Amino acid sequence: MLSIIQAAGWPIWPLIACSVVALALIAERLVSLKTTRVAPPNLLDEAIAVSRQGLPSTEVVNQLAQNSALGEVLAAGIRTLVRDPSSSDEDIRAALEAAGRKAAHSLERYLSALATIASAAPLLGLLGTVIGMIEIFGSQAPTGGGAPGGNPAQLAHGISVALYNTAFGLIVAIPALIFWRYFRARVDGYLLTLELSGERFARHLAEIRR
């Protein structure tokens, strides 16, 4: 591996940095976007069951908010009623929507950085290719006497820089793009779940408020 890096020259170092950052972002998002951390399947039904006979205690609401992103949204609606039992349906929905926007921002965190890496990596590879081509042409410069000259070592190095950087740029970009699309689809699905759950919970809170 070290020999490949040496053959690719200095242009490969930005690509290595991008690959390290991309791996870190992918690992972080894989953990953060687990269903149990965002929208546990039975959480909405449990929250409705707990609050059916009355508003839960502050401790229960805090536990609900710490459970997941969905729990944070549901807890926002309950807290609105706890602070002001005469809150209107619009107030409850506004609190749920605000919590939903906050949760959406958290779910989308780092996705733009991953998309940037997926877009920039091929360009960085292309930069390395251009630099390698420059070295190739430089190795074929005429000699001082006007006759065509050539430095085989420099020619070989220029080819290595061009090919290795092109390949490594694609190696970094393709997985980053795949995971970005995967995470984007998961986030969109979670946002729909949060929206539908918030709407159902808003109707439930409106019923118990009456």
Q: Structural domain boundaries of the chain?
A: 2-209
- Which carries the bigger pLDDT value, residue 178 or residue 133? 178
* 147 confidence band (pLDDT: 50, 70, 90): very low
| H or E stretch at 185 | helix 152-209
135-to-34, 71, 121, 169 alpha-carbon distances in Å: 48, 58, 21, 19
- Which carries the bigger pLDDT value, residue 134 or residue 140? 134
> Quick one: pLDDT at residue 129?
84
% of the chain surpassing 70 pLDDT: 86
| Mean pLDDT (the chain, rounded) | 87
> Quick one: pLDDT at residue 146?
47
- Render the burial of 88-102: b for 16+ CB within 10 Å, e for the rest: eeeebbbbbbebbee
Residue 87, token pair as written in the block: 């809150």
Nearest to 209 by CA among 90, 73, 129: 90
